[in-house]
Structure 1
């Protein structure tokens, strides 16, 4: 083996090793693999009502997104959508799952899942997006109501990112009022992951383009009372031929029992197509 070839192999191994591998918080059950990606400042607890519904017929894996839970937060990362996707893709390859998976993402996790399905289709057989905060570019919004809502979201997100202590303090209070523990965690430890993911993966998103590029079936599940969704965004992707939208009356942004049941039905339908 020449010195030059050895150097190239060593460099390739170093780059592969340097890619972060995400922590696996849940790995239960047997059968077709379902991979769960939580939302911003959250954890696998998001899926507390969903995992028991899937486990009897599937292998269910929940990953902590980059910078959240027990996953690493490399100091050099900007927490862009592509960095989140790269970490998920690397982790799936390391798991050697033997084929494409049913990829389920909630909120930010839905945006990450859509980009992964668009850019690395061999890893995904079915994309399920729960409560996806899809925000079209301001210039693409024709309704004055949608324009006003988008301006309000932008101001709110900018304020949260610019007022660290306020955000941490109020997130802590809100977390105590939510139905499951661990579904909202904004702390000193994950602040950079939170603020940069909000800016670089949610506010600066291309999810509509990503979903349009996905070739596998896409199901979108959302609650009728979700305050973080822009109806125009759901309408745009809902018009795409590979996308089926499921509206859950009375549901909000939290993945409660009603939405969990709707998601489980979608995943089970995927399995029924294979039988």
Structure 2
């Protein structure tokens, strides 16, 4: 191999991989859907049919999950996920601004993407609006003043640490959960174990979501279920106080995008009132 071929190969290997585009249908304003950890674009199976009536809907599989590549040696830092998302969006050659919708880990990915400074080369990747669905907001316990919220967040972080360090336990329980859910909604196997544990540690446990949201100069909507077990009570108080953030609470819905939350989410995307029984209200406080 000549030096030129060697250089070309090294440059090619450094390029962010393109993500699998699972859905690209409909016409109208563009909405890009980004799912969360241990899942796939099937996360939005209840959302896509409602959106394609008036939007061009693009649903992706994130790096290491679904049908997207899992590069050897990847550390699955937030930057890795964002770089792959950015490369994929560039490849779509969109001609107009688009809305980004992220669920769970996808919320962290789209918030960071939208927070990146736009350059001349990225002028076609302009985000018009960000919608975060069930964002797992975990500040560092040392940064949390309320001792009850601090204790809850610390418990979540310890649980995630336990899951990462006990592979057999985690995979065995994941297999049980997978059988109870529609295919593709939750998938944690030997194949995606490395993307799971590294994304969990590098993106969710050690996150910059709050600062990324704070830096945005565009509207941000947060949609979440009142029964979401991945949201520590009181943890979202810091973002709900931001002027550019609007909170939408959906009663009787957990972390998954079930029909009730899907209708509310589409209502938010359409900039109309979310379908009942959802309501745009403040999150419960630490004592709720």
- Give the TM-score, by structure 1 length: 0.90
On the 8 A contact 2:16/2:80 being kept in 1, the answer is no
Residue 57 of structure 1 pairs with residue 60 of structure 2: no
2:279 aligns with none
On the 8 A contact 2:153/2:235 being kept in 1, the answer is no
Gaps of 5+ in 2: 119-124, 273-288
1:220 aligns with 222
Residue 182 of structure 1 pairs with residue 184 of structure 2: yes
Gaps of 5+ in 1: 1-6, 271-275
> What is the rounded CA distance, in whole Å, between the counterparts of 2:197 and 2:13 in structure 1?
27
2:127 aligns with 124
> What is the rounded CA distance, in whole Å, between the counterparts of 1:232 and 1:123 in structure 2?
32
Tell me, what secondary structure is at the counterpart of 1:232?
coil
Post-superposition CA distance 1:39-67 (Å, at most 9, x none):
10001111111111101100111111000
Distance 1:16 1:60, change over 3 A: farther
> What is the rounded CA distance, in whole Å, between the counterparts of 1:108 and 1:197 in structure 2?
8
Matches for 1:41-120 after TM superposition, within 5 Å? 41-120=38-117
Of 152, 155, 159, the match for 1:152: 155
> What is the rounded CA distance, in whole Å, between the counterparts of 2:189 and 2:64 in structure 1?
11
Tell me, what secondary structure is at the counterpart of 2:235?
helix
How far did residue 15 of structure 1 move? 4.9
> What is the rounded CA distance, in whole Å, between the counterparts of 1:78 and 1:24 in structure 2?
22
1:136 aligns with 139
On the 8 A contact 2:105/2:136 being kept in 1, the answer is yes
How far did residue 11 of structure 1 move? 6.0
> What is the rounded CA distance, in whole Å, between the counterparts of 1:165 and 1:19 in structure 2?
31
How far did residue 182 of structure 1 move? 1.2
Distance 1:123 1:76, change over 3 A: farther
> What is the rounded CA distance, in whole Å, between the counterparts of 2:204 and 2:238 in structure 1?
17
Tell me, what secondary structure is at the counterpart of 1:216?
coil
Instruction: Give the alignment's Cα RMSD to 1 decimal.
Output: 1.8
On the 8 A contact 2:66/2:184 being kept in 1, the answer is no
Higher helix proportion (structure 1 or 2): 1
> What is the rounded CA distance, in whole Å, between the counterparts of 2:234 and 2:86 in structure 1?
30
2:37 aligns with 40
> What is the rounded CA distance, in whole Å, between the counterparts of 2:228 and 2:71 in structure 1?
32
Tell me, what secondary structure is at the counterpart of 2:32?
strand
> What is the rounded CA distance, in whole Å, between the counterparts of 2:142 and 2:234 in structure 1?
13
Of 21, 24, 37, the match for 1:24: 21
Aligned residues: 261
How far did residue 139 of structure 1 move? 1.5
Select between 120-129 and 34-43 the one with higher mean Cα deviation: 120-129
